[in-house]
Chains A and B, each alone.
Chain A
Amino acid sequence: MRNGIAKRQEALDQADLVAGNGLMSRRALLTAGGRMTVAAAAGGMSALAVSRSAAAEALSVPPSMTVPGAPMSGYGQPSPYEEAVQRGVLKPYGDLAPGTGVSMTPLQHLAGTITPNGLHFERHHNGVPSIDPETHKLLVHGLVKQNLIFTVNDLLRYPMTSRTCFLECSGNSFFNSFPKPMQMPCGMIHGLISGTEWTGIPLATLLDEAGVDPKGKWILAEGADSAGMSRSVPLDKVLDDCLLALYQNGERLRPEQGYPMRLLVPGWEGNMNVKWLHRIKVTEGPTETKDETSKYTDLQPDGIARQFTFPMGVKSVITHPSAGLAMQGPGFYEVSGLAWSGHGTIAKVEVSADGGNSWAEAALQEPVMSMMLVRFRLPWRWDGSLSRLMSRAVDDQGNVQPSHEAWAKQYATGPAGNLYHCNAVQTWEITAEGEIANVYV
């Protein structure tokens, strides 16, 4: 009898397998609408049954139910039990330039697609300025009928719009451009990415008010920080979908994100989304600033550098399981991760658990939006053996995320080789001991 049930369960489980090394049908998790199906629920439960442990202990009354809780507060904070969830800070020049560097979002500890404001990655070129919104001003000038200057209070009165999109530093995943894979948590490799609802004013409104000269084809956007961070952006993109962002996930921008205002350039290099924005100059051509010539250009092996490679390429990374987390023994896991494309909308994410020998399509969590992070999921039964997990995204423009090898051979290597636009497939190797390592396949 018992043997019969086990056999039946095994048959059910086999029916759910869609690719090598234990990957199960995405139907076992989600339908397109995000609801579990009846058949899939059964499949999921049978998977859980495999790893069910001994009976639980008898319950006692939780102490939290026996005393009054803490009172209200003016601004809420994460649970003290989540204190370890922190951005990872890198200061390449150390104390010489403490405000130059990055802090990276701990992707392996987050779920969903919206990045909490306090964990949004940072990339600063000379620190976070302290800016009083009463004195900050935005100047629009150059090839316009009339130079205009706006106060923050003026700008808060304009009609606004919201855009939920990803923001990725062009140097995200730069560790994976190194010749040998670096061993560090997922977020330290891929954490220069965020998903945020930004609210602000279409830049077209302000440029329209100033009256753009037909000779104007680009803008120069400049920050009010001590790096005077400046980038050129084509006017076509500016008028199409760029925002002067004032709000981040509902609240005013954090200082690290450009308070009181930043440029939002959906889908394009994070560096172009100039923080602490205080000047927009309409120009005929690109200004060729330091950050669009000596930096944020992509050196090829032949010594030629790609310039103005604006959209961030189609990309995905598995965040669960990933480096920085530990496996908890063989059995059921939900493989999940993030996918995005600066060229459009994610069409498909495939997952492999056998190092790329076989692939299965993951479920995409709705809503799937253009130039926004998408959460993908696929159930997996880990048998406890050495496994290689990979994900590969495809967007609606037909762009396919490249393998590590295909990505790397486009670019110069070495310490001053190319660090930008690394959208190579990430492979996590899971050992029989349950450790998770970064490997190149």
Chain B
Amino acid sequence: MSMSKRALATAGLVLALSSVSARSEPQLGQPISDADIAAWDISIPPSGEGLPPGSGTFAEGRDVYAQSCLRCHGEGAAGKPADALVGGQGSLSTDAPQKTVGSYWPYATTLFDYIRRAMPLESPRSLSDKDVYAVTAYILGLNGIIPEDAVMDAASLPDVQMPNRDSFVSWYPSPPR
């Protein structure tokens, strides 16, 4: 009798304890250092935080483009068979809007981020950071957004003013009045 009473009391205590600690059980995540996540931590916000060392220019980018991008994005990044990356500035409020990096994209950092993570389509993550800076400079230069002698690096890229930067209106948390 007393045994079963003690068992009940113990069970009650265990229940009480488990309900106190249940909030964040079972705590199985393993700590990992910033250095050890570097290969994964590749997203670049508009501030440029996290941009890697290295730099690239329009001229260098032309070579990277010819080797890795031309086949899909065409001569001068004019498109075909894949998307056009230049042109269309001033077209967004017409009957035939053309969305390209030059006419539509609000942040130059997005271009670096996207090329590095996803391009070229058949071998993503194959370009060096230097090559990504260079081809970013090439596409921005083709669009007349930066001069052809500009150097793109962690300091200069976030400062690039994209022509369509101010034409986006956030609908979160609610639509504008």
Contact = CB atoms under 8 A, between A and B. Distances in A.
A412 interface: yes
B90 to A, nearest CB: 9
A304 B32 contact: no
A290 B114 contact: yes
Interface residues of A, number: 63
Contacts of A222: 43
A208 B43 contact: no
A147 B96 contact: no
Contacts of B96: 414-416
B124 A210 contact: no
A150 B107 contact: no
A305 B124 contact: no
Interface in A148-172: 148-150, 154-155, 157-159
Contacts of B28: 150, 154-155, 157-158
A307 B81 contact: no
Contact of B167 (A146, A303, A308): A303
Given A158-B28, A228-B118, A303-B97, A96 B169 contact: no
Interface residues of B, dominant DSSP: loop
B69 to A, nearest CB: 13
Interface in A78-115: 93-94, 96-97, 100
Interface stretch (A50-58, A280-288, A384-392): A280-288
B33 A288 contact: no
A139 B24 contact: no
Contact of B46 (A140, A288, A308): A288
Contact of B45 (A146, A287, A413): A287
Interface string A129-151: 00000000001110000111110
Contact of B93 (A146, A150, A157, A303): A303
Contacts of A8: none
A122 to B, nearest CB: 17
B165 to A, nearest CB: 10
B169 A289 contact: no
Interface stretch (B34-42, B55-63, B137-145): B34-42
B23 interface: yes
A417 B31 CA distance: 46
Interface of B: 22-34, 37, 40-46, 72, 81-82, 88, 92-93, 95-99, 101, 104-107, 109-110, 113-114, 117-118, 121, 124, 167-173, 175
15 contacts: A93-B82, A96-B81, A150-B29, A285-B45, A287-B44, A288-B46, A288-B106, A288-B110, A294-B99, A294-B105, A294-B110, A303-B93, A306-B175, A309-B171, A310-B172
Query: Which 7 residue pairs of A and B lie closest in terms of their CB atoms, listed nearest first?
Result: A148-B29, A303-B93, A228-B117, A308-B172, A303-B92, A154-B28, A290-B114
Interface of A: 93-94, 96-97, 100, 125-126, 139-141, 146-150, 154-155, 157-159, 205-206, 208-210, 220, 222, 226-228, 230, 234, 236, 278-279, 281, 283, 285-290, 293-294, 297, 299, 301-310, 412-417
Given A299-B99, A310-B172, 8 more contacts: A155-B28, A288-B106, A305-B104, A306-B169, A413-B95, A414-B96, A416-B98, A417-B97
